Amino acid sequence: MTESKDKLDFDFEEEEDKSVYLYGRDVTKIPCFKDSFFYGISTGIAVGFLAFMKTSRPQLATHIGFGTFFATTVGYWFPCRYNWSKRKFDFAKIQAIMKKQAIYEGTELEREIKAKGLDV
């Protein structure tokens, strides 16, 4: 039994773009955005639920939950962005040094630098 060529053709659909735009900027491409909001939302929900279970006051629990969400999001965002910026700066420095090394490799200047004990 042979199947017709039409039955063997597969229609591959392109994956849907799951981008979210806020003020014209794709927030899925912002470093630390997803993690900050994930930790903020999950912590806010958990603390809000625990506050409700403890106090049985929905409005107070909502305020505590939202405050926890905000504090966790901001508290995670700034250190994450600082570390990301620091790594980006360090990688740029390393890349510049590697370019210099590629240019100096095998030249008299490289031998002089190594003889003096200096790093490029």
Look at residue 52 and tell me whether its pLDDT is greater than 80. Answer: yes
Query: DSSP label at 15?
Result: P
Q: Which one is predicted more confidently, 29 or 88?
A: 88
Q: Is 6 domain-assigned?
A: no
Look at residue 11 and tell me whether its pLDDT is greater than 70. Answer: no
Look at residue 64 and tell me whether its pLDDT is greater than 70. Answer: yes
Look at residue 82 and tell me whether its pLDDT is greater than 60. Answer: yes
Q: What is the pLDDT of residue 4?
A: 53
Average pLDDT of the residues of the chain: 85
Q: Is 4 domain-assigned?
A: no
Q: In this structure, what token pair is assigned to residue 87?
A: 């790594």
Count up the domains in the chain and report the number. 1
User: Measured between alpha carbons, how far is 97 from 34 in angstroms, rounded to an integer?
Assistant: 32
Q: Which one is predicted more confidently, 100 or 77?
A: 77
Q: Is 71 domain-assigned?
A: yes
Q: Is 5 domain-assigned?
A: no
Q: Which one is predicted more confidently, 43 or 100?
A: 43
Q: Is 107 domain-assigned?
A: yes
Q: Is 85 domain-assigned?
A: yes
* Mean pLDDT of the region 77-93: 95
Q: Is 8 domain-assigned?
A: no
Query: DSSP label at 57?
Result: -
Q: What is the pLDDT of residue 72?
A: 97
Q: What pTM does this model have?
A: 0.65
Q: Is 33 domain-assigned?
A: yes
Domain assignment of residue 72, given as a range: 21-116
Does residue 57 contact residue 49 with C-beta atoms inside 8 Å? no
